[in-house]
Structure 1
Amino acid sequence: MKVLIVSATPFELAPLMKLLESQGVPREQSIFYGLLEIQTLITGVGSTATAFALGHTFAKQKFDLAIQAGIGGAFDPEVRLGTVFNVVSEQFGDLGVEEADGSFTDVFELELVQGAAPPFTEGKLLNPAGEAGFLPSAKGLTVNKVHGSGKSIAAIRKKYDADIESMEGAAFFYACLLASQPFLELRSISNHVEPRNRENWDLPKAIDELNKTLIELLDTIKSQL
Structure 2
Amino acid sequence: MRVLVVTAVAAEAEAVAATEETGTLLRGGYAITRTPGLHVLAAGVGPAAAAAGTATALALADEPYALVVSAGIGGGFTGRAPLGSLVVSDAIVAADLGADTPDGYLPVDELGFGRTVHHPPAALSAHAADALGAAHAPVLTVSTVTGTAGRAAELAARHPRAAAEAMEGFGVAEAAAVHGVPVIEIRAVSNAVGPRDRAAWRIGDALAALRDGFRRLTPVLQEHL
What's the counterpart of residue 29 of structure 2?
A: none
Distance 2:165 2:102 in 1: 25
Structure 1: unaligned runs, 5 residues or longer: 114-119
- Classify the secondary structure of the residue corresponding to 2:48: helix
What's the counterpart of residue 104 of structure 1?
A: 105
What's the counterpart of residue 66 of structure 1?
A: 68
Counterpart AA for 1:112: F
Distance 2:203 2:213 in 1: 15
* Residues 96 and 107, structure 1, Cα contact 8 Å, conserved in 2: yes
* Residues 5 and 41, structure 2, Cα contact 8 Å, conserved in 1: yes
Q: Identify if the C-alpha distance between structure 1 residues 167 and 59 changes in structure 2 by more than 3 Å, giving closer, same or farther.
A: same
**Aligned Cα root-mean-square deviation (Å):** 2.8
- Classify the secondary structure of the residue corresponding to 2:146: coil
* Residues 13 and 211, structure 1, Cα contact 8 Å, conserved in 2: no
What's the CA shift string for 1:30-60, capped at 9, x where partnerless? 7665xx3432211000000011111122122
* Residues 142 and 166, structure 1, Cα contact 8 Å, conserved in 2: yes
Tell me the number of residue pairs that the alignment of Structure 1 and Structure 2 aligns: 209
Q: Provide TM-score, normalisation by structure 1.
A: 0.80
Q: Identify if the C-alpha distance between structure 1 residues 182 and 70 changes in structure 2 by more than 3 Å, giving closer, same or farther.
A: same
1:46 equivalent to 2:39? Answer: no
Identity of aligned residues (%): 28
Superposition misfits of 4+ residues, deviation over 3 angstroms? 15-21, 26-33, 219-224
Distance 1:52 1:200 in 2: 32
Distance 2:56 2:148 in 1: 36
If you compute each CA radius of gyration, which structure gives the higher value, 1 or 2?
Answer: 1
1:146 equivalent to 2:145? Answer: yes
> Any residues of structure 2 matched to 1:1-225 within 5 Å, and which?
1-19=1-19, 33=35, 36-61=36-61, 62-77=64-79, 79-100=81-102, 103-113=104-114, 120=115, 123-128=116-121, 129-132=124-127, 133-135=130-132, 136=134, 137-161=136-160, 162-218=162-218
Q: Identify if the C-alpha distance between structure 1 residues 200 and 77 changes in structure 2 by more than 3 Å, giving closer, same or farther.
A: farther
Counterpart AA for 1:74: G
What's the counterpart of residue 117 of structure 1?
A: none
Q: Identify if the C-alpha distance between structure 1 residues 57 and 78 changes in structure 2 by more than 3 Å, giving closer, same or farther.
A: closer
Distance 2:24 2:11 in 1: 23
Distance 2:208 2:40 in 1: 18
What's the CA shift string for 1:122-167, capped at 9, x where partnerless? x421002441231331211111001111222222221223221110
The Cα shift of 1:112 comes to 3.0
* Residues 146 and 167, structure 1, Cα contact 8 Å, conserved in 2: yes
The Cα shift of 1:207 comes to 0.3
- Classify the secondary structure of the residue corresponding to 1:165: strand
The Cα shift of 1:86 comes to 1.4
Structure 2: unaligned runs, 5 residues or longer: 27-31
Counterpart AA for 1:110: L
Distance 1:150 1:28 in 2: 41
* Residues 31 and 37, structure 1, Cα contact 8 Å, conserved in 2: no
- Classify the secondary structure of the residue corresponding to 1:134: helix
Q: Identify if the C-alpha distance between structure 1 residues 81 and 44 changes in structure 2 by more than 3 Å, giving closer, same or farther.
A: same
- Classify the secondary structure of the residue corresponding to 2:156: helix
Q: Identify if the C-alpha distance between structure 1 residues 50 and 16 changes in structure 2 by more than 3 Å, giving closer, same or farther.
A: closer
